[in-house]
Structure 1
Amino acid sequence: MPSISPAELDARLRLHHLPELGPARFRRLIEAFGSASAALSAPASAWRSLGMPEASAAPRRSPEIRDAAARALAWQERPGHQLLCWDSPDYPALLAELGNAPPLLYVAGDATLLERPQLAMVGSRRASVAGLDTARAFARSLAGGGFVITSGLALGIDGAAHLGALEVEGATVAVLGTGLERVYPDRHRGLAARIVDEGGALVSELPLECPPQPANFPRRNRIISGLSLGVLVVEASPSSGSLITARLAAEQGREVYAIPGSIHHPGARGCHQLIREGAALVEKVEDILEALRGWQAVASEPRIEAPLQEAHPLLDLLRAAPYSSEGLALASGWELPRVLAELTDLELMGRVAREAGCWVHRQG
């Protein structure tokens, strides 16, 4: 399809800012009138004949709507900012398959990541320390192997997943439930900036200044799952929004994975429920990679998929004596971030354990 003209993009932005005009109504207008420009010029009676609410039709020519569209166009002109329309060639193909795909996406950072193989990681905002560690470990391994880690920038598991990807210089995408000029939560403003600075991307379908509103976060979740090959739920209660993301993924034909936990831990119950409903039980990264083996020609070969070699330098050191993380870095000559990433992978594979503040070797 030819690229969208500036006038048509301005018209689409004006439609996009109208109240009560969601993806379905937006598409209905475009299909009925042939373009957003024609829809804006159509009489109110024509809008009413399509079932459009008066609240959407009335302000379409207002100065406020025109100014909001102008601000979005100016935002797009800044380096690293893009507006992607759902019928443009650069719109992410997996997301475009959805019947309720966002008509517009605001992207800050590397928009090409949206076309790379992505794995969504979601979970509780009030995650346990073990859950946070598990999320970071899986994100490190998967991102280190070339998969883009996609999540929602929330506190808890989401933030841990983004951080895990960044720790191995991997790619991560954060899908916001607010406008990109209103990053939420405030505690993750620094993380959002780091994601963009280190080659990731922030994504939202909402107007730039849209504040946090409860109804927008379930909408955000369909984008997280829609962009991804599969969704991994790390830790969640039965009432968690993460289960909404998982069920949307199943409806969209995506893979759903869940990590089990203790029957005594409330944060494990949502994952157990998903497993009962058919989600794949995940104990190690290879459980996910097996299901996605066909995508490994696109993403680089994950570091830990091959069987661990007994000559691993850290294992050689730990067979001789326990070490702290810093001690292993000194003894191996590796940078501490690399040591931490390797230790986490070894821990997931059951080859090392942390005891009394030190790492020890475990027999395979």
Structure 2
Amino acid sequence: ITAIALIAVYGTRTGVSSKDETHTQGTQGTCSASTSDASSIKIMTYNTFQIYCIPGVDKKTFKCQEAEARTERAKSFGEWFKGRDEDVVLLQELWSNHDVILAGMTAAGFCHYVMTEEQSGSGLAIFSKHPISENSFKDWYDLFGGMRPEIMNPESYIAAKGVLYARVMKGNQPINILNMHTNSDSIADKHDVRMQQFNIVKEVIDSKNISAEELVLMGGDMNEDKDCRLLKCDRQANCENQTYYTDMLTALSAEEVEISTEVTNAWTYNTENNTLLKSLYETSDCDTYQYLLDYIFVSKDHLAAKSSSVCEVLHPLSPEGADLSDHFPMSCVIDFEPVTETNNTESVMETVTEG
């Protein structure tokens, strides 16, 4: 994949900018009533796979779908989210069908949002049933204070991946949320690059001077498999004893949340249960991958989550039974002991207009 081909589609958004990308914050439609009580929040992270195809580049090499198929999936997102009981949803790879996803998510009751303005931007969005009082974004790569782009790594100069912060007000209880999308291993083992990005996330958290009595949640497509990418055809792991995963938690100063496997397995990137993902590897030497790449973590330096907190991997399907993305979402119920007096507003429907 040449840099020229990538830039032709996505634009040169990273490694050249002296400021971080602006994201749009707004409200639209009617907020669904939250079903969680004052001492818990339900949050999901979901990679949407709304990535453009590159003209002249084989879709098996640069994994993507043509525009019509992407749009059909995007339309199904809003339908699937109707009736979901999450309070907050984190999305990644929102590089096409921006307006379709926005309309679908707000119609599904997630009326507060902050999201990438440009389709060549970060690809990140946060949707919430509760008001968002603050947001900010940090690019992985920029001219000042960011990482230096790798010339041979397209991910460092296409789009504007990074970490998106939002402060969500659940009643009077502030919930600090960070949505990130780190570099993948599509061309090589990029654990060292991801470690720099996790360090940036920690710097962002520290810069906010968040009270130790507030909850801080980190989520997204972190591209760091818990089992070192062992579960693939050659069974050759990139590390031993979950070292990469442990490194990630240490850099983020994060606590993991238990993942329930009663209903589904714990892989969010799973060719054996995802027909869309399987089809992307049809002509590849290996067509079997089972990775856990998408997480919700809790900051160890702030309000702790209770041991009753739990996550699960979901398997969303369109009305026709098709997979909605190449990733599966991770949904978590985070229980905590609120230290601020909260108003019980969860049962009240809120109507808002676009702002």
**TM-score bin (small chain):** under 0.3
TM-score by length of 1: 0.24
More strand by share: 2
Q: Max radius of gyration: which structure?
A: 1
TM-score by length of 2: 0.24
More helix by share: 1
